[in-house]
Chain A
């Protein structure tokens, strides 16, 4: 009886210790799991943003990738989101515009409490410090966003393709789907019509 109790106690202690170490492993594993989830949440919102110049999304052009999004938990349910994007061309205004698109899209659509930092990935632009400073200055961004021409361009870039097409996007056949697809392209190609508006007054930010 005594032996059973001792061995019972021993196995209970052993399983408790094992449980503890399993829990701490799980705890450590939980952190990256939550963060990974948040990274995907952020990335899902930005990958569909249309490039201001080309009729492609930022993902298609590899301006953004899942690996360019970093999420850190600052406090409980409070996150720091850092995005590093790679502009396709060294043109400053377009790089700044992409930065603004990222900011606006996340501000409008990301439901979690967060602080956002956006940077041009190192070595991809000669004026990256200047641009980084501008797109992270919330006063400058807010003031620029009050410009109606800029608002129009951003809206075009940020709108999900489905909303461009309309609510009903269930296609009966492939041909229909292709037709719809083309109209998306033509809608986004039209954003380049807006570029002259703000390129001429390049002092928008």
Chain B
């Protein structure tokens, strides 16, 4: 297990500061990092090394908490504690801030682009989730303000294929939203975590959702459509979500991030105990009650809390992580050969 996650490279991405989040571009050639130094850095390879290709500063007045690439790869959105979201347009190695989205009352905690590229979601400590529409002229318009959560909303993520949005909150719940007619509505609330839910990740099919929490567990939820074979009750035409697996006893502190590899199905976690862990579903396990095994556990992956883990979308096994120590690390994960 010790040899399954091997360090490839380490860079001091945000010196004397925290690195909060990472995002790979859709082609997997660039990695964006953001941090407490209010900067965004874009990393690319030059031979065997990862080098900083661009620095995006002057965009935000406070910590940049998350970044997200558009599906076309030409835009980068950044969410900041200064209550704004910047949209950067990429022109070769240069990035220009083309729009600043305002409206949240306080810190923006997350931003995510829908797979269609026409919708953007943001969330904030003001307890709301906003849905924005983008048109061909790069004009952004807020089409919905969702006030379903009762506390700080930590993370938003879109379903890989449907226009279904998920949010994670300090109120210990996960909520799902979809468009009904002209309005966006909350169509499901997932309860079960005993403390703040920090992050979410859909599996490659979009049928399952992983959530990670301050309660030191990862929960896997499955969507059941009305009329499903398993007899899971649904209300009306809304799908129902049920917790089908809980990974507990593995993490010793808050789990800040979870990432589901879209190529291999491996699940990685970023934990406040400075470790990175990888889990894989046991082959042949019941899809309605899957079991996952810990296949990699890297103690001291960083010298402080690990805040984010991100699988490269094109290169199987390439994992990036970042930490409160300001560093970004690149890892190679070797899957256990057959069980």
Answer yes or no: are A and B bound together in one complex.
Answer: yes
Partner of A146, one of B63, B272, B299: B63
Q: Are A142 and B106 in contact (CB under 8 A)?
A: no
B196 in contact with A137 (CB, 8 Å): yes
Interface residues on chain A, number (Cβ under 8 Å): 13
Q: Is B81 an interface residue (CB 8 A)?
A: yes
Q: State whether B18 touches A142 (Cβ < 8 A).
A: yes
Determine if B152 is an interface residue (Cβ-Cβ < 8 Å). Answer: yes
Which residues of B, 311-330, contact A by the 8 Å Cβ criterion? Answer: 324
Given contacts A115-B253, A146-B63, A146-B81, contact A139 B18 (CB under 8 A): no
Alpha-carbon distance A142/B62, docked complex (angstroms)? 10
Contact of B257 with A by CB under 8 A: no
Pair A143/B125 contact, Cβ less than 8 Å: yes
- B interface, size bucket: 20 to 34
Chain A CB within 8 A of B305 CB:
yes
CA distance A142 to B195 in the complex (A): 19
Partner of A143, one of B107, B299, B303, B305: B107
Within B198-241, the residues touching A (CB, 8 Å) are 214
In whole angstroms, what is the CA distance A74 to B154 when docked? 28
- Give the shortest distance, in Å, between B272 (CB) and chain A (any CB): 7
Q: B318 to nearest A CB, angstroms?
A: 27
Whether A139 and B62, one on each chain, are in contact in the complex, defined by CB atoms closer than 8 angstroms, is no
Pairwise interchain contact A138-B81, C-beta atoms closer than 8 A: no
Whether, in the assembled complex, B36 has its beta carbon less than 8 Å from a beta carbon of chain A, the answer is yes
Asked if residues B272 and A139 are in contact (CB atoms below 8 Å), the reply is no
CB distance from A119 to the nearest CB of B (A): 14
A75 CA to B273 CA in the complex, in Å? 11
Proximity bits, A123-158, B CB within 8 Å = 1, else 0: 000000000010001111011001000000000000
Check if B63 sits within 8 Å of A142, measured CB to CB.
yes
Decide: A139 and B154 in contact? CB cutoff 8 A. yes
A residues in contact with B65, CB < 8 Å:
139
A138 vs B107: C-alpha distance when bound (angstroms)? 14
Asked if A115 contacts B36 (CB within 8 A), the reply is: no
Contact B170 A137 (CB under 8 A): yes
A136 to chain B, nearest CB (A): 8
Kindly provide the distance from the CB of A28 to the nearest chain B CB, expressed in whole angstroms: 24
Interface centre among A133, A143, A203 (most CB of B within 10 A): A143
- Residues in chain B near residue A140, CB distance under 8 A: 125, 152, 170
For window 107-123 of A, CB contacts with B under 8 Å fall at 113, 115
**Could you tell me the distance between the alpha carbons of A155 and B83 in the complex, rounded to whole angstroms?**
25
In this assembly, does B109 line the interface, its C-beta being within 8 Å of a C-beta of chain A?
Answer: yes
Question: Cβ of B109 and Cβ of A139 under 8 Å apart?
Answer: yes
Q: 1/0 per residue B143-156: CB within 8 Å of A?
A: 00000000010100
Closest chain-A Cβ to B279's Cβ sits at a distance in Å of: 23
Q: Which residue of A lies closest to B82 (CB)?
A: A146
Which residues of chain A (78-120) have a CB below 8 Å from chain B? 113, 115
CB of A112, distance to nearest CB on chain B (Å):
13
Q: How far is the CA of A142 from the CA of B20 in the complex (A)?
A: 11
Distance, CA A140 to CA B109, complexed state (A): 10
In the assembled complex, which residues on chain B have CB atoms less than 8 Å from the CB atom of A74? 252
Residues from chain B with a CB closer than 8 A to the CB of A146 are 62-63, 81
Name the B residues within 8 Å of A115 (CB-CB).
253, 272-273
Lowest 9 A-B CB distances belong to which pairs? A143-B81, A143-B107, A146-B62, A146-B81, A146-B63, A142-B63, A115-B253, A137-B196, A142-B36
Chain A residues within CB distance 8 Å of chain B: 74-75, 113, 115, 133, 137-140, 142-143, 146, 203
**Which B residues are within 8 Å of any A CB, using their own CB?**
18, 36, 62-63, 65, 81, 106-107, 109, 125, 152, 154, 170, 195-196, 214, 252-253, 272-273, 299, 303, 305, 324
Can you offer 11 A-B residue contacts whose CB atoms are under 8 A?
A75-B299, A139-B154, A140-B152, A140-B170, A142-B18, A142-B36, A142-B63, A143-B62, A143-B63, A143-B125, A146-B81
- Given A115-B253, A140-B152, A203-B106, 12 other A-B residues pairs in contact with their CB atoms under 8 A: A75-B299, A113-B303, A133-B195, A133-B196, A137-B196, A138-B324, A139-B109, A139-B154, A140-B125, A143-B63, A143-B107, A146-B81
